[in-house]
Amino acid sequence: MTTTGDPAGSAGAAVGGRLARAAMFAAALLAVHVCFASTRAGREIDDASIDAFSWARDQGALPLFQLREAVPLALLLAVVAAAVVALTRRRVRQVLAAAALLGGVYVLSAVLKRMLVLAGAGIGGEGIGGEPAGSFPSGHTALALAAVVALTWLLPRRALRLVTLGGAALSVFTAIASVAAFAHRGSDVVGGALLVGAVAALLCSHEPAATAGHRDLGPGVLALVSAGMSAAMLLVAMSRAGSDIAGPLVLGLTLATTGAVGAVLWEAVPRQNPSSTRRITVG
């Protein structure tokens, strides 16, 4: 005799799973901010992450890093084009999910920045160049990565590998370029990536059979590891106080950013297997 599962129970498990993953990304986001905004050492190292790229200005490489302005725009234009094609194929759900992701990331990024300005809880209450604190999280990084995720939802499965790898590289470049261009600190760009993970986790759900048990929390665990890399960057730099810490800072920032971007893509990119039970939902 065959039995059927409880649809209500399955739906509840799916919602619980994505809430748990979103909470882990949010916890990682909070951990990064607290680590670098609430401690004197963290603030000093976060400021030093900008100075670590002073060579960009000295060697005339700064114009290259100004491309951070163009990358998110180009990716957003690609999303618009992909959404138009998806609508012609009646893939309305995917288009709505992509719009919800981009809109949610944009709004939450702006709200978080405004809240930190009002609370005076930014980097020592003061932003880059003495302006009011309001650079956390990085909107450029968040929008670039959110656009990459949206593209993986809208484009055909055969394009997933190219879009994922290329998009990951562009997202990490945007993050590092934002610091090198003296527009953001290290914690800002890692936070921007983790914000995308939290929003994407709410929109992209798994059937319970898709990933069983602890494996379903893998992306969230990787996000927390990324936050740990940020902390490791802090500790390594602190241990070398008084010496040249530019190298460890650049390496630590690159690892932390790559870890955060990887966590988001692991969470949000659909499986290439056509029989995958991963699905994109809104609400």
3-23: per-residue pLDDT in tens? 445 555 555 666 777 788 888
Q: Closest by alpha carbon to 25, among 233, 192, 246, 229?
A: 192
Q: Which of 40-44, 81-85, 120-124, 153-157 has the lowest mean pLDDT?
A: 120-124
- In this prediction the pTM is 0.81
Q: Over the chain, what is the mean pLDDT? A: 76
- Give the Cα separation of 96 and 140 in Å (integer): 22
79-86 contacts, C-beta under 8 A, 24 or more apart: 79/147, 79/150, 79/151, 79/154, 82/150, 82/151, 82/154, 82/155, 83/154, 85/154, 86/154
What is the per-residue pLDDT for 5? 52
Segment 126-155 mean pLDDT: 80
End-to-end CA separation in angstroms for the chain: 36
Highest mean pLDDT among 28-37, 56-65, 191-200, 230-239: 191-200
* Segment 47-99, tens digit of pLDDT: 777 777 777 666 666 677 778 889 999 999 999 999 999 999 999 999 999 99
The torsion angles phi and psi of 31, rounded to 5 degrees, stand at -60, -40
What is the per-residue pLDDT for 195? 95
What is the per-residue pLDDT for 120? 62
Confidence of residue 234 (pLDDT cuts 50, 70, 90): low
What is the per-residue pLDDT for 246? 67
